[in-house]
Structure 1
């Protein structure tokens, strides 16, 4: 069976992670009966002519503009993995829900299956009747987490309580309100390590105003080592269909402080603190609660997080195997 994964041609923040995950998937037991190939949108048509796959798996964002091109991508079956849209996205980014939902319904109708990457996203799809229930398959996002399971647990802060946050510096990720929330706390109560790059980097640095305990570390190449330096991980996203940062933090046994949105909500159960993302003060209060939690409570959150992540990769592979066998 030949499966062609089509990634976005643009430099979106998740492309590298998705590519690495799919490359790992191709090295699992599925390789005994599935031949995978990964291409960008720009390469898809040429590959379709020469390779002739049985199944297309699209990882791009749906749009009105993309529908004509989608119709030209011929194969026995097509699957869309919905990395992009969620209830939180609709709330923050969509001026006309009616038009947005009409676009999604049309795109999803052209697919043989639509993969939701979190329970929260699936519930949003089905409660708004965006896709026929018989087409939807749930495959919670994951990656190979072995390096994160090797991160030592951490009971006590070394000096300052250290919060870590990392990802693309975009409006979605909410790092602007994280900086504002830290600035509301007494200087010397916490340090924030911010890893990542992106279009909002200069604005975020200006917002930080040279705060003595907010540090920008640039691109993080060794994420497990980065997480070993922190006492907790904060994920202040405005929307997040899933959130692999939360999964990585859980695997590293770090308590999490997350926005109560989309896929983050289901990941944080018994692993840390959720806050309502409608004000910086809520995030400030959440940070203060995390700092003042007992070492035993933070250790319990971390241990529960690690336990909840132990089978994530196996579950991901098993779920993909079930979906692919539907087309064998």
Structure 2
């Protein structure tokens, strides 16, 4: 449904008219504009359920919070992608906790099939795949590298992704004199292949909703090192599928990477355990089934 401007005030009427013509039972929205348009449209036509899918944590502007709080009563359910974002949904969106549930992201287990470990390779490669923006915390990963290579000069890092921080991060690599250890791969569309190529995955994010890329890395049987932010603690089991560290803490990241390098067998055992955890709890089939059950509960 095209819009004429950033917030097209005719869209709630158009959406309500469309929903009425379809006699829609379920309306599902995600992100601020769609959520508010969907909520306002229910004054024209109220389906059996208006459901919002929430994946973002606490980055709303004042007027966005107010709009959510004014329309929170129109939502029959808000689906959170992790338990850890419930407080944000309750506080910033003003949502009744009785109308919140969690359905985790799911990963395609065939597309992200288990990959064999790399044995007897000259380099141990840590990889990360994320937009090069402040949120993803690449600076703290790079600042950890000098300490790691003092003891483990065979370690290497590959960063997949593009973004506004690219030049700043390149300058930091030069400043830290770690050019021979770090490779910027740019934007890539072959993440499943990259995950198989890497020995371990690192995600130094400052905040998340639920980091889907960790799921993908674990599905590919890779151990993960991640900051203990929203969602990560519900996915990573410390010293079983990987390690969790404090955010904005380069020293903690360095210690975690050195711990994995000191015990390379963990790359294989933690990777296998991560794959099993994804199969048991985070498959796309499980996600679809839980959404189906939610929809059926309203019709």
TM-score scaled to structure 2, two decimals?
Answer: 0.81
Is there any run of 5+ residues in structure 1 with no aligned partner, and where?
11-40
2:170 to 205, 221, 224: 205
Q: Does 1:240 align with 2:208?
A: yes
The answer to whether the 8 Å contact 1:163/1:231 transfers is yes
- What SS does the corresponding residue of 2:27 show, helix, strand or coil? strand
Q: What are the superposed Cα offsets for residues 136-177 of structure 1, whole Å, 9 maximum, x if unpaired?
A: 12100123231212x422053611210010011111111121
Q: Is the aligned partner of 1:55 residue 2:22?
A: no
Name the structure 2 match of 1:133. Answer: 97
Distance 1:249 1:57, change over 3 A: same
Q: Deviations over 1:285-323 (max 9, x none)?
A: 11111211241x221111110001114222201110111
Identify if the C-alpha distance between structure 1 residues 225 and 79 changes in structure 2 by more than 3 Å, giving closer, same or farther. Answer: same
Task: After TM superposition, give the deviation of residue 225 of structure 1 in Å.
Answer: 0.9
Question: TM-score, normalized by length of structure 1?
Answer: 0.74
**C-alpha deviation, 1:50, in angstroms:** 4.4
Point out the structure with max Rg over C-alpha.
2
**SS where residue 192 of structure 2 aligns?**
helix
What is the alpha-carbon distance in structure 2 between the residues aligned to residue 303 and residue 118 of structure 1? 23
CA RMSD of aligned residues (A): 3.3
Does the C-alpha gap of structure 1 residues 189 and 140 become closer, same or farther in structure 2, counting only changes over 3 Å?
same
Deviation at 1:127, TM superposition (A): 8.8
- 1:183 to partner: Cα distance: 3.4
Consecutive unaligned residues of structure 2, counting only runs of 5 or more, are none
The 1:172–1:107 alpha-carbon spacing in structure 2 relative to 1, beyond 3 Å, is farther
Q: Is the 8 A contact 2:68 2:93 kept in 1?
A: no
Partner of 1:277: 247
8 Å CA contact 1:55–1:78 kept in 2: the answer is yes
- The 8 Å contact of residues 243 and 264 in structure 1, kept in 2 or not, is answered as yes
